């Protein structure tokens, strides 16, 4: 026998199930009076630095139907590319921006929607800058382990072309699955980021 | 120091596969391409912090946090444990959110159609932040088993759902807790998505007779393990090699 290396194993994942919102968004499912407000609904306040944007989209299953029970979380840097986290050692992030958001997909249409700011660029491990991006995490009934992906921006072509993470995608035709399209809606830049869990347009998901 | 390295690769043979046909909903909700392995960047090594100021005084008391006319029906229990990483180090400041059915196996949700009664005094949600030693506890009632549409006669064992935030977004985890001695664990298609029996056992909380509250509540101990980080000693290799 030799000495034991790793002490413990990570707890295995289980599906969030159809009623994840009871635990994450109780007010949204009409369990009111337990806590004041559901976490993660509001990302920006009037003093948050950066360009205000809307992100919206739907999550599609292999039959092309939108998931109406999905829960979507985002995690992103501030306008300067700094994360509001104790693990961030490069500087102090905007105190008016936590950078984490959580929204349920609409129960009728499956659309999710975040009001946030466009993030700045953060470095890859070797110091090269990654293109601006937002980490996206999806859970729902039928998803056994939460799916990690990234959203990039269609108006950042030059940065996207040099992003060391996008460069790792061997099948170049799949890169556009990570790029949200910018359009102007109600006077606000709005990015549409549809996520396809499987099928021809399957989004690139990461094992991080 | 030890909180800076990148994370050990997730052991995908310990977790459920994405495509598990006996759990039918997974068939159309599982990616078919392999996941793209990504060495952790700052985007995965960081994560949001939730302060105790976000929580209300009854958030960890499911006996009281929704009650209207009295206590909910059911076996009173305390669930407690620690959040640790794979290096067995405590994870302080972790936000746990949990949700469950009532004693009859019924969720309080408008899309729920199971005929078991709604308990007017039970909401079924709670949350807690771990202390400096990674410890947490909450009070609730033991949830009932319930039938669900998968096979014509599939039943979920009693369980509590857990959502966990550690110190980094790479540690984000949703899982479920089961109860020691429940024979229904071993007939459940969702439990069975986990291929390894000892991995399943990691989700089974132990009945802890030493920590029961006498004349009040049974206790179940449930430790949760999040991914561990490499020592930074191995991170400071020469760049550009
Ligand atoms: Fe459940």
DSSP string, B75-138: -EEEEEEEEEETTS-B-TT-EEEEE---TTS----TT----SPPPTT---EEEEE--TTSEEEE
Phi and psi torsions of A71, nearest 5°: -125, 130
Spatial neighbors of B134 by CB under 8 A, at least 6 apart, are B82, B83, B84, B89, B90, B91, B92, B94
d(CA B196, CA B194): 6
Structure tokens at B122: 């039970």
**Residue B106 pLDDT greater than 80, yes or no:** yes
**Partner-chain contact A34 B125, CB within 8 Å:** yes
The candidate with the shortest Cα–Cα distance to A175, out of A144, A190, A154, is A154
Residue A169: which of B35, B185, B164 has the closest Cα? B35
**Is residue B3 over pLDDT 60?**
no
pLDDT of residue B237: 54
- Closest CB from B86, B97, B163 relative to A10: B86
Which top CATH class is A41-196? mainly beta
- In eight-state DSSP terms, residue B193 is G
Q: Are B163 and A23 in contact (CB under 8 A)?
A: yes
What's the confidence (pLDDT) of residue A142? 98
The ipTM assigned to this model is: 0.96
| Average pLDDT, rounded, for chain A | 96
- Residues B192-226: tens digit of each pLDDT: 999 999 999 999 999 999 999 999 999 999 999 99
Cross-chain Cβ contact A12/B175 below 8 Å: yes
Name the pLDDT band for B2 (thresholds 50, 70, 90).
very low
Q: Contacts of residue B4 in chain A, CB cutoff 8 Å?
A: 87, 89
% of residues, chain A, pLDDT over 90: 96
CA nearest neighbour of A87 among B42, B86, B84:
B42
Token digits for A129?
Answer: 């800058």
Domain B24-29+43-234 class, CATH top level: mainly beta
- Per-residue confidence at B241, pLDDT binned at 50, 70, 90? very low
| Longest Cα–Cα distance in chain A | 67
pTM beyond 0.80? yes
Q: What is the DSSP letter of B45?
A: H
pLDDT band at B142 (very low <50, low <70, confident <90, very high): very high
DSSP 3-state of B192: helix
Q: Shortest CB distance from B125 goes to which of A31, A135, A141?
A: A31
pLDDT at B236 over 70: no
Q: Where are the domains of chain B?
A: 24-29+43-234
Q: What is the pLDDT of residues A187-201, one digit of tens each?
A: 999 999 999 999 999
CB neighbourhood size of B164 (10 A): 21
pLDDT in tens, A139-185: 999 999 999 999 999 999 999 999 999 999 999 999 999 999 999 99
Interface probe for B, chosen from A145, A150, A199 (most Cβ of B below 10 Å), is A145
**Amino acid A148: pLDDT:** 98
Per-residue confidence band for A18, with pLDDT thresholds at 50, 70 and 90: very high
pLDDT digits (tens, 9 = 90+) for B13-61: 999 999 999 999 999 999 999 999 999 999 999 999 998 888 999 999 9
pLDDT at B1: 38
């Amino acid at each position: 026998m030799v000495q034991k290396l790793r002490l413990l194993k990570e707890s295995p994942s289980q599906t969030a199930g159809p009623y994840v919102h009871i635990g994450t968004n109780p007010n949204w499912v009409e369990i009111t009076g337990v806590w004041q407000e559901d976490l993660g609904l509001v990302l920006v306040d009037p003093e948050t630095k950066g360009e205000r944007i809307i992100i919206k989209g739907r999550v599609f299953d292999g039959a092309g139907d939108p998931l109406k029970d999905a829960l979507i979380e985002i995690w992103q840097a501030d306008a300067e590319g700094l994360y509001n986290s104790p693990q961030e050692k490069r500087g102090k992030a905007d105190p008016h921006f936590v950078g984490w958001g959580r929204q349920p997909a609409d129960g009728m249409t499956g659309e999710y929607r975040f009001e946030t700011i466009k993030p700045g660029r953060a470095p890859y491990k070797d110091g090269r800058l990654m293109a601006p991006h937002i980490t996206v995490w999806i859970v729902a009934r039928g998803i056994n382990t939460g799916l990690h992906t990234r959203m990039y921006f269609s108006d950042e072509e030059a940065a996207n072309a040099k992003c060391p993470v996008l460069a790792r995608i061997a099948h170049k035709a799949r890169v556009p699955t990570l790029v949200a399209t910018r359009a102007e809606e109600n006077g606000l830049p709005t990015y549409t980021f549809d996520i396809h869990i499987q099928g021809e347009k399957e989004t690139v998901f990461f094992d991080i | 120091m030890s909180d800076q390295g990148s994370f050990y690769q997730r052991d995908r043979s310990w977790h459920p596969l994405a495509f598990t046909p006996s759990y039918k909903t997974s068939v159309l909700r599982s990616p078919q391409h392999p996941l793209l392995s990504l060495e952790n960047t700052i985007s995965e090594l960081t994560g949001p912090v939730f302060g105790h100021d976000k929580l209300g005084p009854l958030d960890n008391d499911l006996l009281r946090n929704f009650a209207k006319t009295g206590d909910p029906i059911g076996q009173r229990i305390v669930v407690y444990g620690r959040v640790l990483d794979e290096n067995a180090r405590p994870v302080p400041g972790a936000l746990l959110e949990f949700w469950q059915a009532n004693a009859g196996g019924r969720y309080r949700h408008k899309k729920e159609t199971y005929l078991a009664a709604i308990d007017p005094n039970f909401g079924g949600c709670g949350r807690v932040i771990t202390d400096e030693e990674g410890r947490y506890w909450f009070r609730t009632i033991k949830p009932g088993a319930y039938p669900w549409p998968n096979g014509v006669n599939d039943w979920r064992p009693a369980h509590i759902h857990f959502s966990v935030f550690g110190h980094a977004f790479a540690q984000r985890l949703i899982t479920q807790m089961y109860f020691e001695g429940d024979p229904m664990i071993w007939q459940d298609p969702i439990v069975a998505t986990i291929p390894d029996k000892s991995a399943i056992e990691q989700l089974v909380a132990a009945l802890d007779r030493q920590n029961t509250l006498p004349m009040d509540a049974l206790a179940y101990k449930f430790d949760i393990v999040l991914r561990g980080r490499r020592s930074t000693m191995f991170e400071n290799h020469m760049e550009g090699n």
